[in-house]
Amino acid sequence: MVACLFLAVIIFLGFNSYTLNRYLWHSEDAFFRQEVLQFDNYFYADGLADIYIREKKSAEAMVLFEKNFESGVKRVINYLAYADLLLENGETEKSLEYLEKARPLCFSPEDQGAYYDKKGVALFRLKIFEDAQQSIRMAISNSPEDPMYWEHLGVVQGKMGEHDKALETFKKAIRLGNNSTTIYINMANAYISTNECEEAIKFISRINRTKKDAGLNMLLEKAGRCLADNNT
């Protein structure tokens, strides 16, 4: 009798758990939307903010991160994500401010890499190039296999006139798997700056033709003029 009762309780609890997961929290998306939007539970606002980021709703995501901070939650990943949104929104100095607020928190090596890279990008936009390069090098020291950090370093080096170094840095980014359109554009600009015009044209030709735009056409014309000047 006791065994049967115990089994009945287990079945009941299991059914309730299944029902809860299936109909109430059937997905992470539904859970976060319910907690935040229905119950004003901003402890989970960062979860919904991440969903909004994936949905390209940056403004809504920023509001939720702010609510999350106000609720007393202090997670490194939230400060990094919010700083990234601020950078996208052109609020560079505010981005640096929130990156500094994250400093007392516990960082993993991956978090350290993201922190220093975002700080470097912000400093670059403020035209503080030496500090930007130093910060991005710190990002690389924490996450040496991240090709995006190498690309960012190459951009800073190019801006500082270190075009040969930038070329080698971009090549490193490509070897690590960076095959984005921007890496080829950056490589082409670096080749033009070092007067290696044929290499520039080669890299431009590797860019997906469906992504060609006015800026890319101008770059191709620039490389063509470079080649023509070299042949005169």
Q: What is the pLDDT of residues 4-61, one digit of tens each?
A: 444 343 333 333 443 444 454 457 777 777 776 676 676 777 777 778 788 888 898 8
Q: Residues 188-225, buried b or exposed e (16+ Cβ, 10 A)?
A: bbbbbbeebbebbbebbeebeeeeeeeebeebbebbee
First to last CA, the chain: 101
Tokens of 186: 């950056």
In a domain, 199, yes or no: yes
Q: What is the pLDDT of residues 43-56, one digit of tens each?
A: 777 777 778 788 88
In a domain, 223, yes or no: yes
Q: Residues 127-151, buried b or exposed e (16+ Cβ, 10 A)?
A: eebeebbebbebbbebbeebbbbbb
Is 125 in contact with 105 (CB distance < 8 Å)?
A: no
For residues 164, 167, 172, 175, the Cα torsion angle rounded to the nearest 10 degrees is -140
Q: What is the pLDDT of residue 39?
A: 63
Is 203 in contact with 219 (CB distance < 8 Å)?
A: no
Is 65 in contact with 82 (CB distance < 8 Å)?
A: yes
In a domain, 140, yes or no: no
| Biggest distance spanned by C-alpha atoms of the chain | 101
Residue 90 burial (10 A CB sphere; 0-12, 13-18, 19+): exposed
Distance, in Å, from the CA atom of 158 to the CA atom of 79, rounded to the nearest integer, reads 29
Tokens of 135: 């910060």
In a domain, 196, yes or no: yes
In a domain, 81, yes or no: no
Q: What is the pLDDT of residue 8?
A: 40
In a domain, 194, yes or no: yes
Give the count of beta carbons closer than 10 Å to the beta carbon of residue 176. 15
| pTM score over 0.85 | no
Number of domains in the chain: 1
In a domain, 202, yes or no: yes
In a domain, 80, yes or no: no
Q: What is the pLDDT of residue 2?
A: 43
Print the domain residue range for 222: 179-227
Comparing C-alpha atoms, which of 219, 214, 186 is closest to residue 201?
219
Distance, in Å, from the CA atom of 184 to the CA atom of 83, rounded to the nearest integer, reads 27
pLDDT < 70: residue spans in the chain:
1-26, 36-37, 39-40, 42, 208-213
